[in-house]
Amino acid sequence: MTSGALARMIRSAAERRPDAELCDLCGAEVPPEHRHLLDTGAEAVLCACRPCSLLFVEAAASRGHYRLVPRRRVRLPPVDTQGLGVPVGLAFFVRHADETVTAHLPSPAGATRWEPDRAAWDEVVSGCPQLATLEADVEALLVNTAHSARHHWIAPVDDCFRMVALVRREWRGLSGGSRVWPAVEQFFAELTEQPG
C-alpha cells in the first residue's frame, strides 16, 4: 500500500462519526434510512449501502445467500392466528422457500422460534389470501394482539427484528415492566403502509 493510499484511509476513518452505521458488506457509512439484506445462512439482517443494495436488486430473483429485504408493508384485517398455537400476542411468522413456516416470539432474551403446523398455516392463509403473497424468507406476518391490541401486518423482516430488539431493550422483570408494552404500541403506531 502506498503512503498516499494509507493517508486517505486514515483521513476517511477519522472523518467518520463514531455513532455512524456502516455497511456490513463493504464498510461504507450508511444513512439512517438504508436498505437491509438477509444473510440466509446465518439468518441475520445486514445493513447495506446504496451500491451494495443495488447489487442485490438484480440478484433477488436468484434467491442467493444474500437477499434484499423489501420495503412493502400492508396493514391487514384481523387474522385468526389461534390455530398456530401462539402462546402470546406478539409474534411474527416467516414463510420459507421450502414452504415451511417459522414463528418467532420476541422475549427479553431475543426471539424464541418454532415451526407451527403446516395445515394450520394453510388455514390462516385461506382466511387471509394476501398472506399467499409473502416473499419467502424476507417478509413476515407481524401480529400484536397483546393487551387488547389488534395489529396485523405484512412486514419486512427487518421491521420484525427491530421489534425484537425493542422488546429486549425495554423489558424489565418477569412481566416486562411498565416500559415494554407502551414501546411496542408506539412501534406499531409508527408503522405506515408502503407499496412493494
Average pLDDT of the residues of the chain: 87
The pLDDT of residue 167 is: 95
The pLDDT of residue 117 is: 92
Q: Model pTM?
A: 0.83
The pLDDT of residue 156 is: 97
AA identity, residue 163: M
- The answer to whether residue 166 scores a pLDDT higher than 90 is yes
β 44-48/74-75 pair status = unpaired
Q: Residue 20: which pLDDT band, with cuts at 50, 70 and 90?
A: confident
The pLDDT of residue 17 is: 54
Q: How far apart are CA 121 and CA 194, in angstroms?
A: 25
Average pLDDT of the residues in 98-108: 93
Domain boundaries defined on the chain: 3-68, 74-189
DSSP letter assigned to residue 29: B
Q: Residue 58: which pLDDT band, with cuts at 50, 70 and 90?
A: low
The answer to whether 154 and 131 have CB atoms below 8 angstroms apart is: yes
Distance (Å) of CA 88 to CA 120, 143, 146, 147, 175: 17, 10, 7, 10, 12
H or E segment and range at residue 13: helix 3-15
The pLDDT of residue 11 is: 52
The pLDDT of residue 40 is: 84
64-88 pLDDT tens trace: 678 899 999 999 999 999 899 888 8
Return the C-alpha cell found at 106: 420476541
